[in-house]
Amino acid sequence: MPGHQNPAESEPPIRYLTTDGSPTLTAQRRGLDIQLARNLYRDMMRARRLDTESLALARQGELNLWLMSWGQEAAQVGSVHALRGTDMIFPSYREHAVALCRGLTPAQILTQWRGCAHAGWESGGTHHMHINSLVLGTQTLHAVGYATGAVMERTDEVVTVYFGDGAASQGDVNEALNWAAAAQLPVLFFCQNNQWAISTPASLQMRMPLHRRAAGFGLRSYHVDGNDALAVHAVTSEAAAHIRAGGGPVFIEAFTYRRGGHSTSDDPGRYRDDHELKLWESRDPLARVRAFLEGQGVEEGFFARLDRECDAFAEQVRTDCRGLPDPRLDDVFASTYAQPHTLVDDDYARYLAEEEFLGQTSLRTGDAA
């Protein structure tokens, strides 16, 4: 839809780097950490390679579906680097960069998208990251529920939930914002405003910038350039410190852009024009950090080594994907409840009997029939 304007564009966001990688006056006053920038750039590069390889695998029929984070790497990597490893994260379906930063392997991430299992990792566990939510906005309520438990157990966790501008129109999200504010829960609401809810532009979803809406619920809120990894890191660090000090929930609106389609089943060329795509290509988050690093004198060898590392990582993505085991029917029943239940056992027994009758035992065991 040419000519649409996102409400977030009406106010300048917090920014540390211009699109050409030059530090802003705010950044110059506060100072910038070169090693942090190198680390952020590395993880952003890995995330993009995961995206490009997974998109290729989906087109080859190796994945059933893929939802890219292309263009949103700075928002995801910058924010998760500002959290502690023990802070629980509730993602949506697009936080692949966050998952990589939390130590998840390509195999664990791709399991769901190949149709091998509902998720490739245990919710929480050593990664402190819940499995993906494919239903818009539900993870925000999961986060505030978890945060309620964190308060009861007197931990100092910053419970972080990721969602997009489309999900922000869901009732669940607004209920979660109100609940968190009323109970002063330690929740960081991280909204990646990528400007498109599938084919619906933000201009048709809202008239008020999202960070302003959050303030109306009583949350401290920030509006940051979501393509500026260093600004995102700084804002998230400040928000996390506020929450950990008992200041209550915080809302961050990261203004970014979804460079690809909503998913591999979407054709964004039907509703977006070339001018918009070229504009946001010029604001690429990886190019911005690289330009900054080059301007600071980071040696060319760093980039060459990283390119080789990412080439090896891409090979790992392809190998891990093709090596994933076939799905097992018993996994569906085993993960229904935390403890065995007679109703589930009865359902499973009926499925086994039907499989035996049809001769489809491969579904049960993963072995050849």
Sketch the domain layout of the chain as residue ranges.
Answer: 7-322, 329-365
- In eight-state DSSP terms, residue 16 is S
Instruction: Give me the residues paired with residue 164 across strands.
Output: 192
Reported CATH class of domain 7-322: alpha beta
Stretches where the chain sits below pLDDT 50 are 1-2, 364-369
State the chain's maximal CA–CA distance in angstroms: 73
Say if CB 168 and CB 57 are below 8 A apart.
Answer: no
pLDDT tens track for 75-134: 999 999 999 999 999 999 999 999 999 999 999 999 999 998 877 787 767 899 999 888
- For residue 100, count CB atoms less than 10 angstroms from its CB and return exposed for 0-12, middle for 13-18, buried for 19 or more: buried
**Residue of 286, 88, 324, 59 lying closest to 187 (CA atoms):** 88
For the residues of 244-264, what is the DSSP string, one character each?
HTT---EEEEEE----S-SST
Cα 192 to chain centroid distance, Å, stands at 8
Torsion angle in degrees (nearest 10) through CA of 248, 175, 226, 39 = 60
**Residue of 107, 109, 85 lying closest to 96 (CA atoms):** 109
For the residues of 195-261, what is the DSSP string, one character each?
SEETTEEHHHH-SS-HHHHHHHHT-EEEEEETT-HHHHHHHHHHHHHHHHTT---EEEEEE----S-
Question: What pLDDT is attached to residue 352?
Answer: 87
Reduced to 3 states, what is the DSSP secondary structure of residue 187?
A: strand
Q: Could you tell me the pTM of the whole model?
A: 0.92
From residue 1, alpha-carbon distances to 5, 47, 266 in Å are 10, 28, 15
Question: What pLDDT is attached to residue 368?
Answer: 41
Say if CB 360 and CB 369 are below 8 A apart.
Answer: yes
- For residue 82, count CB atoms less than 10 angstroms from its CB and return exposed for 0-12, middle for 13-18, buried for 19 or more: buried
